[in-house]
């Protein structure tokens, strides 16, 4: 059905992606090499995220044994109510003030254990921390959006290998949330159902793009995915915020996150880099029945631990393009082992 060039529509953002399945048959001239993973110590005395170590400005980390949260020492946003709007002397030169809070969430004291290598209760604790932080930050008067995200791997520009995530809470909606809110609102108004609930039902019926699911969450390669192994993780129960998750749902979410991360690592037997993050409804005091809690995973790797996809040229100037289809990507992620390759002794 999908063996010739076509476009696919992303109903969440209104963007299109060009899919060129015939190109997966072209000869590959680049080198595919095995990358030996760097062996990290349990504790690194030079790491500013490890317990007991010193951070910027001479602040000392506590001897934490679970998650550890602190305000980013080099925050992109500063807190407090918005300053008076900038005076603009030209309609094409528009800027508005922004304020917010940027925090870092260390996953665990272990410098060497990434998400797929952590035990389930540790991942549950990470989700609970994200949830508490989201609730605390979202309750502030000047906060409209809370973005929980993880940047994993040097390839994604992550500056410290100690597994951690970030939370940026800000006073205005960022671009992606603005687009997704508009699309989901229009859809809910027209159909009386959340867009992602309808999409999830259809994907679960078809199954071909589903990678892993349990009673409360489904991870799938979206029909309109741009990155080769992009994933969308959708909550089954209508919910708009992480704080709405029950303890059973947190356990289920931990299982799906762990499975996704294990399968990613197993694909090329490497610590699989990605940017991932949750999309929650705006924190504006309104009821957001149109919204479904979900997370996006954007991994850059294409065919090995060292061969990545670049968003350059045509993609920067025209539109995103992919060769491997979302159906093939989902099949590959379903086929790999559910046990981490480091544990399975390979």
Of residues 103, 110, 111, 209, which one binds Zn ion by CB under 5 A?
111
Of the candidate spans 80-88, 111-119, 186-194, 323-331, the one that interacts with Zn ion by CB under 5 A turns out to be 111-119
Of residues 17, 19, 50, 137, which one binds Zn ion by CB under 5 A?
50
Of residues 40, 47, 158, 336, which one binds Zn ion by CB under 5 A?
47
Is residue 288 close enough to count as binding Zn ion by CB under 5 A?
Answer: no
Of 213-272, which residues contact Zn ion (CB under 5 A)? none
Q: Which residue lies nearer to Zn ion by CB, 53 or 214? A: 53
Strand bridging mode 321-322 / 16-19: parallel
Of residues 110, 140, 152, 162, which one binds Zn ion by CB under 5 A?
162
Strand bridging mode 217-220 / 274-279: unpaired
**Separate counts of helices (H) and strands (E) for the chain:** 6, 12
User: Are 143 and 172 spatial neighbours (Cβ–Cβ below 8 Å)?
Assistant: no
Q: Which residue lies nearer to Zn ion by CB, 106 or 329? A: 106
DSSP 279-324: E----SSS--TT---EEEEE--B-SSSS-B----THHHHT--EESS
The CA distance from 87 to 107, in Å, is 42
Backbone angles phi, psi at 297, to 5 degrees: -120, 120
Is residue 49 close enough to count as binding Zn ion by CB under 5 A?
Answer: yes
Instruction: Map residue 28 onto helix, strand or coil.
Output: coil
Least distance to Zn ion from the beta carbon of 12, Å? 6
Of residues 209, 236, 279, 309, which one binds Zn ion by CB under 5 A?
279
Query: Which residues are known catalytic residues?
Result: 164
Q: Which residue lies nearer to Zn ion by CB, 182 or 307? A: 182
The CA distance from 118 to 286, in Å, is 37
Of the candidate spans 54-62, 90-98, 110-118, 218-226, the one that interacts with Zn ion by CB under 5 A turns out to be 110-118
Residues that bind Zn ion (CB under 5 A): 44, 47, 49-50, 111, 162, 180, 279
């Amino acid at each position: 059905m999908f063996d010739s060039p076509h476009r696919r529509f992303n109903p969440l953002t209104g963007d299109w992606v060009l899919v060129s399945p015939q190109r997966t048959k072209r000869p590959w001239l680049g080198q595919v090499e095995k990358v030996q993973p760097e062996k990290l110590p349990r504790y690194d005395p030079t790491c500013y995220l490890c317990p007991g170590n010193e951070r910027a400005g001479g602040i000392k980390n506590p001897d934490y044994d679970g998650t550890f949260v602190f305000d980013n020492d080099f925050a992109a946003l500063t807190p407090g109510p918005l300053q008076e709007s900038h005076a603009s002397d030209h309609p094409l030169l528009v800027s508005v003030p922004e304020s917010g809070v940027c925090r870092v969430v260390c996953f665990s004291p272990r410098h060497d254990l990434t998400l797929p290598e952590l035990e389930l209760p540790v991942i549950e604790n990470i989700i609970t921390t994200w949830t508490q932080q989201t609730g605390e930050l979202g309750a502030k008067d000047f906060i409209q959006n809370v973005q929980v995200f993880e940047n994993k791997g040097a390839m994604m520009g992550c500056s410290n290998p100690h597994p951690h995530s970030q939370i940026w809470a800000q006073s205005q909606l960022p671009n992606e949330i603005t687009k997704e809110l508009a699309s989901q609102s229009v859809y809910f108004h027209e159909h009386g159902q959340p867009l992602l609930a309808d999409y999830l039902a259809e994907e679960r019926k078809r199954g071909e793009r589903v990678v892993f699911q349990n009673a409360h969450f489904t991870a799938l390669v979206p029909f309109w995915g741009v990155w080769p192994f992009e994933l969308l993780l959708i909550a089954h129960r209508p919910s708009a915020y992480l704080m709405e998750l029950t303890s059973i749902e947190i356990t289920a979410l931990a299982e799906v996150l762990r499975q996704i991360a294990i399968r990613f690592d197993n694909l090329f037997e490497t610590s699989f880099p990605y940017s991932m993050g949750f999309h929650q409804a705006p924190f504006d005091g309104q009821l957001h029945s149109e919204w479904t809690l979900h997370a996006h995973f954007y991994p850059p790797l294409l065919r090995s631990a060292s061969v990545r996809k670049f968003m350059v040229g045509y993609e920067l100037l025209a539109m995103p393009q992919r060769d491997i289809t979302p159906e093939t990507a989902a099949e590959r992620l379903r086929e790999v082992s559910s046990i981490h390759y480091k544990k399975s002794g390979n």
